[in-house]
Amino acid sequence: MINESVAKLVRYSQLHHLTEREDETYIVNSLMTALGMTEFTWPDSVGEDVCACELDLEAILGELCDYAYENGRIAENTVAYRDLFDTMLMGILTPRPSDVIRTFHGLYEKNPAAATDWFYDFSRATDYIRTYRVKRDLKWVTPSVYGDIDITINLSKPEKDPKAIAAAKLAPQSGYPKCPLCRENEGFSGNLRAAARENHRILPITMAGEPWFLQYSPYVYYNEHCIALSGEHRPMKIERKTFARMLDFVEAFPHYFIGSNADLPIVGGSILSHDHMQGGHYTFAMENACIEVPISFAGYENVSAGIVRWPMSVIRLDSTDKDALVALADKILSAWRGYTDASAFVFAETDGEMHNTITPIARRRGEMYELDLVLRNNITTDEHPLGVYHPHAQYHNIKKENIGLIEVMGLAVLPARLKDEMKLLAEAVLAGQTPADVPAIAHHAAWFDGFANRYSFDAENVDEILRQEIGRTFVGVLEDAGVYKCTAEGREAMLRFVRSVGA
């Protein structure tokens, strides 16, 4: 059985162009060493004519991890330990960085899209992107007045089991790599505190004259979800060079967008310690949103601008002149950093804490370069201790976490707990109960009561109703996160800021 599993993995690596036939004996011996095997015979059941469709990588790795656990190569038979081990196995099959870079550059010279297509397929073939886990995510679309909003319940990121958590607390602290986004993760063996990355490869790129690196997100919230990371471990900072880097990126990869989380807590992403951006080959609802109010900025007549019809506060800039876009974006950022309008509850700082920043996104539209500048503010109050422009308490049963770049653009990344909670809620409704009757979902009671009277529930429609109400709730979350509301008063207040930029 173990011989067959090893042979299947070797064939998988050949069919996915990770290794060559000439590497076969070397790869078999390397896998034997990792598994603690002393004998191997190639099985007749895995012939040269085997098809890639017959090789289930998840099943193959599962069999190898079972063998490793039974033979003392894995300490605990849990997801955390198995992930460390199977990543080591895949690392044996993964080409060296120099080979990956050489292949990418060769393809890029002919067509940038072909190069990224190859790198994305490569990152899935090496199991760095665990496609079989990503497929478990629940996804749907909810129509709204702002366009079609994408909803996903993230099930692909494994939760740590109690044994792994306990072991991680006892493990020695290490400053290497400094964070999950550092370039030193490439090829890193991992531990219970940091993910294994033997099968991880990154590509060197240059943005605004600086060394950066390109990789894909292992969790792939949308198509070709990539990450551009600074070669230097430094904190997130939105500044003039941010816009220059972004426009350099979309010039190099015109089929991708790129965006950055804001650089302040509450309105920023989950990692503020390492300067990075996220991009990919996907069209979000915000990109399709139209200009609601055209605006202009003196001295930038070659830049078209407008306020976007979107629940968050977005200024869109378009031009063929990259330098003009960078200069104007920097002027808007500088103005917003110091802007206060008490009547609109916008305060640049309180008690020495700065509140205003921007979530920027860049893309190409034909020959045009486009920047979306999303105005953010992280002020808190007694009524809204997690943030005034943050999901309010009434929505915390669905979304309590920060509204980062991905959500800003119109894709909800919701917690895995909702899958089971919505199943329980559907069962309760069909049984004639309310959420308040079921302790595990009692926190959804007020939310459910807000829409229950609009529907007649049955077994055919209950799941779809709950999905669409989750989507509508996320639209409300985005409206909460908007500094200026989509009302006449909100638009006038935003225009006051726009007029201040040229003052």
Helix (H, G, I), strand (E, B) or coil at 280: strand
Say if CB 239 and CB 349 are below 8 A apart: no
Confidence (pLDDT) at 161: 55
Handedness of CA 255, 324, 284, 153 (dihedral sign): positive
Confidence (pLDDT) at 7: 97
Confidence (pLDDT) at 48: 87
Closest CA relative to residue 132, chosen from 207, 61, 67: 61
Q: Evaluate if residue 2 carries a pLDDT over 70.
A: yes
Average pLDDT across the chain, whole number: 95
Percentage of residues in the chain with pLDDT exceeding 70? 97
Q: Residue 181: which region, alpha, beta or left (left: phi > 0; alpha: psi -120 to 50)?
A: alpha
For residue 269, what pLDDT band results from cuts at 50, 70 and 90? confident
Confidence (pLDDT) at 238: 98
CB atoms within 10 A of CB 232: 12
Confidence (pLDDT) at 172: 65
Query: For the CA atoms of 379, 384, 386, 388, what is the dihedral angle to 10 degrees?
Result: -40
Say if CB 405 and CB 261 are below 8 A apart: yes
Confidence (pLDDT) at 166: 58
Say if CB 325 and CB 243 are below 8 A apart: yes
For residue 494, what pLDDT band results from cuts at 50, 70 and 90? very high
Nearest 5°: phi and psi at 248?
-60, -40
Q: Where are the alpha helices (DSSP H) in 36-157?
A: 57-70, 79-93, 97-108, 112-125, 131-134
Q: pLDDT digits over 146-193, tens only?
A: 999 999 999 887 655 555 555 555 566 678 999 999 999 999 999 998
pLDDT higher for 255 or 155? 255
3-state secondary structure string, 3-46? HHHHHHHHHHHHHCCCCCHHHHHHHHHHHHHHHCCCCCCCCCCC
Confidence (pLDDT) at 165: 52
Confidence (pLDDT) at 164: 57
Helix (H, G, I), strand (E, B) or coil at 177: coil
Element containing residue 496 per DSSP (H, E): helix 488-501
Q: pLDDT digits over 385-424, tens only?
A: 999 999 999 999 999 999 999 999 999 999 999 999 999 9
Say if CB 89 and CB 83 are below 8 A apart: no
Q: pLDDT digits over 59-103, tens only?
A: 999 999 999 999 999 999 999 999 999 999 999 999 999 999 999
Confidence (pLDDT) at 156: 83
Q: pLDDT digits over 341-389, tens only?
A: 999 999 999 999 999 999 999 999 999 999 999 999 999 999 999 999 9
As given in the structure block, the two tokens for residue 158 are: 């494994």
Average pLDDT over residues 120-134: 97
